[in-house]
């Protein structure tokens, strides 16, 4: 960012966006390109962000959404999970994040496709093989696995209540 007598010049590269603020308040989101901005008192500041497969701080997004909802929707995808759900977030078709209940994450969606698959864990706590493969690297502490041998009987209980009898095999919940 360079200043001249009455203007400020800024270049935003491909794969970036700039949050332009004046006196700490968000003015606009700048797309890639050269920008010459009228700024006689040198009050403008620009913060550059990489937007390719990138996460944006959720607390900053909450402030932007409250102050400038017109600027919050276009460049961002906010993902919020409810009390009884988990979500698998994929960026450009690749699963990257397993979200547990009551989480919020925000992603730049201007250069990346953001897909969210939500799973209601109250209706069926079972994790399918497809979901298990998607969340393999991120599942520590979230997924419980059990193996019921041929000579064993398995019982699934949730909060002390019997939910299901398990047949021999590998199970994930």
DSSP structure class, residue 13? -
Look at the chain and count its residues: 173
- Which residue's entry shows tokens 């799973």? 119
Residues whose CB falls within 8 Å of the CB of residue 80, separated by 6 or more in sequence, listed in order = 103, 104
Give me the mean pLDDT over the 1-5 stretch. Answer: 63
The string of DSSP letters for 69-114 reads HHHHTTTEEEEE--TTEEEEEEETTEEEEEE-TT-EEEEE-SSS-E
- Which residue's entry shows tokens 């209706």? 123
Give CA separation, 104 vs 98, 100, 121, 125, in Å: 11, 9, 18, 21
Contact present, 134 and 127 (Cβ < 8 Å): no
Does this model's pTM top 0.85? My answer is: no
- Which residue's entry shows tokens 């953001």? 114
pLDDT digits over 12-56, tens only? 999 999 999 998 899 999 999 999 988 888 889 999 999 999 999
How would residue 98 be classed by pLDDT, with cut points 50, 70 and 90? confident
């Amino acid at each position: 960012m360079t200043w001249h007598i009455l203007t400020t010049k800024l270049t935003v590269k491909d794969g970036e966006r700039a949050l332009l603020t004046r006196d700490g308040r968000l003015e606009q989101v700048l797309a890639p390109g050269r920008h010459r901005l009228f700024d006689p008192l040198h009050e403008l500041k620009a913060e550059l962000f990489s937007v390719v497969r990138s996460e944006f701080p959720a607390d900053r997004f909450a402030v932007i959404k409250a102050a400038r909802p017109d600027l919050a929707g276009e460049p961002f995808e906010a993902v919020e999970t409810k009390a009884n759900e988990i979500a698998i977030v994929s960026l450009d078709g690749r699963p990257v994040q397993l979200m547990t209940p009551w989480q919020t994450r925000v992603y730049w969606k201007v250069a990346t496709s953001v897909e969210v698959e939500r799973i209601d864990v109250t209706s069926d706590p079972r994790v399918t093989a497809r979901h298990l493969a998607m969340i393999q690297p991120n599942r520590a502490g979230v997924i419980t696995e059990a193996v019921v041998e041929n000579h064993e009987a398995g019982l699934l209980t949730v909060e002390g209540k019997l939910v299901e009898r398990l047949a021999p095999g590998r199970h994930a919940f």
